[in-house]
Amino acid sequence: MTNMRKIQADYNRAATHIKKRIIICAGTGCIANGSLHVYKAFEKAIEEAGLKEFTDLELNYHDDDKVYQLTGSGCQGFCGQGPLVNILPDEIMYTKVKPEDVPQILQETVLKDQIIDELLYVNPADGKKSRGQTEIPFYKRQTRLVLGECSHLDPGNIREYIAHGGYFAAEQAFTQMTPEEVCNTILESGLRGRGGGGFPTGKKWQFTLQEAGPKKYVICNGDEGDPGAFMDRSLMEGNPHRVLEGMMIAARGIGADEAYVYVRLEYPLAIERMTKAINDAMETGILGENIFGSGYSMHIHIMEGAGAFVCGEETALIASIEGRRGMPVPKPPFPAQKGLFGKPTVINNVETLAAVPLIIRNGAEWFNAYGTEKSKGTKTFALTGHVANTGLIEVPFGTTLREIIYNIGGGVTDDDGAISTEGFKAVQIGGPSGGCLTEEHLDIEIDYDNLIRNGAMVGSGGMVVMNKQSCMVQIARFFMNFTQNESCGKCVPCREGTKQMLSLLDEIIDGTATEESFELLQELSQVVRKASLCGLGKTAPSPVISTINRFRDEYLQHIVDKKCATNNCKALADITIDPEKCTGCMACVRKCPVWAIHGEKKQAHVIDPNLCTRCGTCATVCKFGAVIGF
């Protein structure tokens, strides 16, 4: 049996000798920006400086030993500013760090406590520099309960997780609580499923607990496939042991001894870190037989999914684990009654399970203190699109869109990344299953019920901000193309309906649509929503329905006037030549395949809109940027 208290005490005792800790963000976003090169540069610089590095395997430090700790962390959330380097305990954070910056950081900040101003974050709204996370609005205005440890814990170090109280909630659940007490605590906390449905987690567990039979399963749904969503991936990469601990508590709550983590193959880093976490937990004795001396066993397996969006649906996910094609089946029976291999099964998404240890550790009332009356706790969102501070955020339910977009997000940007003078147009919430909200919704409190009442949904947490330069018909087409490609093809309404809806949207964008085809699009949207088998099909028309409801005039402009005000639809764009820039060089006249450009040499040319096919040749050959509209 593992003595977690000894591990905790030994690690914390050794950690008192750490003079400075250097934390490099090692989430996927920062790795893509080169954080591993920064890490290697720090390793080299520390070695060359002759500094003694901290290792929790050594532990036997003398009283006068002063060591330096270099670690990676999970996603710290501020993805647009990576690679990120944090220096503790000084609470200094440097952004967009390059390997060549490392020697200066080590010599000036780590060894001499001097701040390097040019590496500090600069707020685009007021130009003010911030020393660290405690000063940066992006972090200050969040409540990072589930994501908090991702910023500073080494995801590959089980001993550090235990030192910070990890696995003690699981121990409490297995040694001090009955399954009924576990389920009741989660129910009283008000935790609802973070994967999109929002069903009360404790109630789902109770339904499964009530089912008879010696064999039950827990499944962690890590098949996050929404465009622009990366919350679950970041949790698995940044705090894999928290996810495992949540699964263990869920298993105790329903009486299971076996669980699966279902992760899509496109998340190799999440798979790597979850696999290591399981192996380390087995070696430490936290997983396996007779865990915590309770007499109960617990085994967790990794299942790599092929990346089908439909496998986010419970029954399709189960089919995939069982080796069958990932296709949904009608319910009932629900997985709680007949799930994996025909046995009662609880399926929760990653974020839901990551919140569970916190609730057991701190109590249901503590969790109840966050959020709204019917939506308790916090929610993570992937904030992307036309916003200054893109990244992963966590806020209590009840937070407004205005707070997220303008205060945490730093404001709306134009297509070049600068703060937009035209401003906000819409935000798509809930991914391809959600809907768009506009300026009139900026001050509504975000929770499950409010968003549904306003034609959107929490979903898994994708939040895409759009500025005034965005074409809403193009946005609807983007999400419809995604869901059409991801349809499993089992039911006709989804398989054929989404294909026809995509075709009708293409007609609108190409300028060939009529008012009758617009009416057909609206009618077809309702048919697909009502007649499809699973959640993918039922929610596939949501982006189309919401954009039509909010931006009907924009659709009609495309259809009736054959114009796209944003010039994003090239077939409808106004292609003109700027007379101030045109030198009359005749290059466009000679290359135009339909002779739509007229003008004399050394005089400004003109495009005949009735002849122009908008092929873009003129824009390609013009060396002076005089052609406008492409």
Is residue 465 within 8 A of residue 387, CB to CB? The reply is yes
pLDDT computed for residue 1 by the predictor: 59
Report percent pLDDT > 70 for the chain. 99
Residue 330 above 90 pLDDT?
A: no
In angstroms, how far is CA 109 from the centroid of its own chain? Answer: 32
Tokens, residue 270: 């999440």
CATH class in words for 574-628: alpha beta
Q: Which residue is associated with the tokens 């430090």?
A: 61
pLDDT band at 303 (very low <50, low <70, confident <90, very high): very high
Tell me how far apart the alpha carbons of residues 591 and 597 are, in angstroms, rounded to a whole number: 9
Greatest pairwise CA separation for the chain in angstroms: 92
Domain ranges of the chain: 8-140, 161-368, 378-470, 473-561, 574-628
State pLDDT tens for residues 90-141: 999 999 999 999 999 999 999 999 999 999 999 887 788 999 999 999 999 9
In angstroms, how far is CA 612 from the centroid of its own chain? Answer: 42
Tokens, residue 473: 């018909």
State pLDDT tens for residues 507-517: 999 888 999 99
Residue 312 above 80 pLDDT?
A: yes
Residue 70 above 90 pLDDT?
A: yes
Which of 197, 200, 173 shows the shortest CA–CA distance to 187? Answer: 200
Q: Please enumerate in sequence order all residues whose Cβ is within 8 A of that of 18, keeping only pairs 6 or more positions apart, or say none.
A: 54, 67, 68, 69
Which of 424, 422, 389, 427 shows the shortest CA–CA distance to 125? Answer: 389
CATH number for domain 378-470, candidates 3.40.50.2300, 1.20.272.10, 1.20.1280.50, 3.10.20.600: 3.10.20.600
In angstroms, how far is CA 418 from the centroid of its own chain? Answer: 23
SS3 34: coil
Residue 313 above 90 pLDDT?
A: no
pLDDT band at 36 (very low <50, low <70, confident <90, very high): very high
Residue 169 above 90 pLDDT?
A: yes
Q: Which CATH superfamily is domain 8-140 in?
A: Glutaredoxin (3.40.30.10)
pLDDT computed for residue 285 by the predictor: 94
List the Cα angle 160/165/168 in 5-degree steps: 120
**What is the rounded average pLDDT of the residues 480-493?**
88
Q: Which fold has domain 161-368?
A: Rossmann fold (3.40.50)
State pLDDT tens for residues 190-243: 999 998 778 999 999 999 999 988 999 999 999 887 777 788 999 999 999 999
List the Cα angle 289/273/351 in 5-degree steps: 85
CATH number for domain 473-561, candidates 3.40.630.30, 1.10.1060.10, 1.20.1440.230, 3.90.220.20: 1.20.1440.230
Tell me how far apart the alpha carbons of residues 540 and 60 are, in angstroms, rounded to a whole number: 59
Which of 473, 239, 235, 465 shows the shortest CA–CA distance to 349? Answer: 235
State pLDDT tens for residues 258-271: 999 999 888 999 99
State pLDDT tens for residues 395-408: 999 999 999 999 99
pLDDT computed for residue 126 by the predictor: 79
Q: Please enumerate in sequence order all residues whose Cβ is within 8 A of that of 516, keeping only pairs 6 or more positions apart, or say none.
A: none
To the nearest whole number, what is the mean pLDDT of the chain?
91
**What is the rounded average pLDDT of the residues 568-587?**
87
pLDDT computed for residue 577 by the predictor: 87
pLDDT computed for residue 284 by the predictor: 94
Element (H, E) at 170: helix 168-176
Q: Please enumerate in sequence order all residues whose Cβ is within 8 A of that of 298, keeping only pairs 6 or more positions apart, or say none.
A: 248, 251, 257, 258, 259, 287, 288, 291
pLDDT band at 529 (very low <50, low <70, confident <90, very high): very high
Q: Is the alpha carbon torsion for 182, 187, 190, 191 positive or negative?
A: positive
Exposure string of 517-545, with b = 16+ CB inside 10 Å and e = fewer, is ebeebbebbeebbeebbbbbbbbbbbbbb
pLDDT band at 283 (very low <50, low <70, confident <90, very high): very high
Which of 192, 393, 229, 380 shows the shortest CA–CA distance to 312? Answer: 229
